[in-house]
Amino acid sequence: MTAATAAAEGFRPLTAPYFVKKESAMLNAVVEDLKRGGIEFTLIETAPGRTEVWRRGWVDDALIVKEMRDEVAAAWQTGIPAVSPHPSVQSVPTGGGAVTVKTATKERPYVNSLGMKFVPVAGTKVLFCVWETRVKDYEAFGAATGHEGKKPDYAQTGDHPAVNVNWEDAKAFCEWLSNKESLEYRLSSDEEWSAAVGLRGEKGETPSDKNGKVADVYPWGMQWVQRKRAGNYGQSLGTDTFEKTAPVGSFAANGFGIYDLGGNVWEWCEDSFYSSRNSRVIRGASWVDVDSVTLRSSCRHGEPPSDRHGNVGFRLVVSGR
Ligand SMILES: [Ca+2]
């Protein structure tokens, strides 16, 4: 959105210090998370390299404005390199042609044969599925290949994330779907997953080195709050009402349009956790987790690739940009 368009639609700039030098996925996530209380916020690039926070509507809750100010200030001061440009500022293809992996945008995702939606993530050459792989996706794989899934000991519908899937199962799913659609599906790399959650420039050689090193940055924002709808985490946090897994997309998407990177189920990545040992990275925490370090965007664990758990699933990426 341009400044002129935003003004025509009723947005007005907030006064200083709401300026940000460069738009970041994290900041956008903060802003998207604050569409509440009758007031909307948006990021407007008013000049090259300068982005401002504008608002529309009025709010009678000063706490919302204060919280927003604090979060923007925190985002600005993290010192983590910005991701730019955000997909929302990319041009949207016009015309009626089908969306491909090369033309997909946040607004017009690529949709595959299973109905999974994929959006670009700045700083990577892949599209991320907006959802964790669902039970119904995994059942289609099982029906086609005879691969037997292991149902969890709690109830799920087809729109819940598939669980009890080990790294080897997830890789087999990727291979099946790649052959079926003549595309390259795989798990995200650890670095790509960081880009999707808005973390850039983490220090360390291996995922193990980077584990939990960035404080005060969570998938929902910059502050540790037990906010309703932050995601599907452990019951004692009070963030949600789901006892176990939740249907994918039950919480707000991040700036890229991706749901449940934080919470619901841990997500297998391609990488080894250590440089030499046989364990694979999982990211994002789950419906079980409550610990503030575990919920950090920078947290990752290593799990044996043959292990299955009721709170670990996977998310696909597709390459071809
Ligand atoms: Ca997740």
Residue, of 85 and 256, whose pLDDT is higher:
256
62-77 helix and 25-32 helix, angle to the nearest 10 degrees: 170
Q: How far apart (Å, rounded) are the C-alpha atoms in residues 144 and 22?
A: 47
Calculate the CA dihedral of residues 143, 183, 313, 204 and round it to 10 degrees.
160
> What's the CA-to-centroid distance between 93 and ligand 1, angstroms?
30
Q: How far apart (Å, rounded) are the C-alpha atoms in residues 261 and 90?
A: 22
Specify the pLDDT at position 194. 96
Q: How confident is the model at residue 238 (pLDDT cuts 50, 70, 90)?
A: confident
Residue, of 291 and 95, whose pLDDT is higher:
291
> What's the CA-to-centroid distance between 163 and ligand 1, angstroms?
11
> What's the CA-to-centroid distance between 237 and ligand 1, angstroms?
17
> What's the CA-to-centroid distance between 154 and ligand 1, angstroms?
18
Q: Which of 290, 300, 233 is nearest to 270 (CA)?
A: 300
Domain 3-78 identical in fold to domain 110-319: no
Q: How far apart (Å, rounded) are the C-alpha atoms in residues 71 and 65?
A: 10
With a cut of 60, say whether residue 27 has pLDDT above it: no
Specify the pLDDT at position 33. 45
> What's the CA-to-centroid distance between 128 and ligand 1, angstroms?
13
Percent of the chain with pLDDT over 70: 72
Q: How far apart (Å, rounded) are the C-alpha atoms in residues 70 and 282?
A: 31
Mean pLDDT calculated for residue range 45-59:
64
Q: How confident is the model at residue 72 (pLDDT cuts 50, 70, 90)?
A: low
135-145 helix and 167-181 helix, angle to the nearest 10 degrees: 70
Specify the pLDDT at position 41. 66
- CATH code of the domain made up of 110-319: 3.90.1580.10
> What's the CA-to-centroid distance between 49 and ligand 1, angstroms?
32
- The amino acid at residue 146 is G
With a cut of 60, say whether residue 192 has pLDDT above it: yes
Specify the pLDDT at position 9. 78
> What's the CA-to-centroid distance between 248 and ligand 1, angstroms?
9
> What are the sequence ranges of the domains in the chain?
3-78, 110-319
> What's the CA-to-centroid distance between 6 and ligand 1, angstroms?
33
Mean pLDDT calculated for residue range 271-275:
92
> What's the CA-to-centroid distance between 180 and ligand 1, angstroms?
25
> What's the CA-to-centroid distance between 255 and ligand 1, angstroms?
16
Q: How far apart (Å, rounded) are the C-alpha atoms in residues 261 and 273?
A: 18
Determine if the pTM surpasses 0.75: no
With a cut of 90, say whether residue 227 has pLDDT above it: no
Mean pLDDT calculated for residue range 295-308:
96
**Range 3-78 has CATH code 3.30.70:** yes
Specify the pLDDT at position 200. 78
Mean pLDDT calculated for residue range 168-190:
97
Specify the pLDDT at position 281. 98
Residue, of 37 and 202, whose pLDDT is higher:
202
* Cα torsion angle, 137, 141, 146, 148, sign: negative
Residue, of 66 and 182, whose pLDDT is higher:
182
Q: How far apart (Å, rounded) are the C-alpha atoms in residues 141 and 225?
A: 38
> What's the CA-to-centroid distance between 58 and ligand 1, angstroms?
34
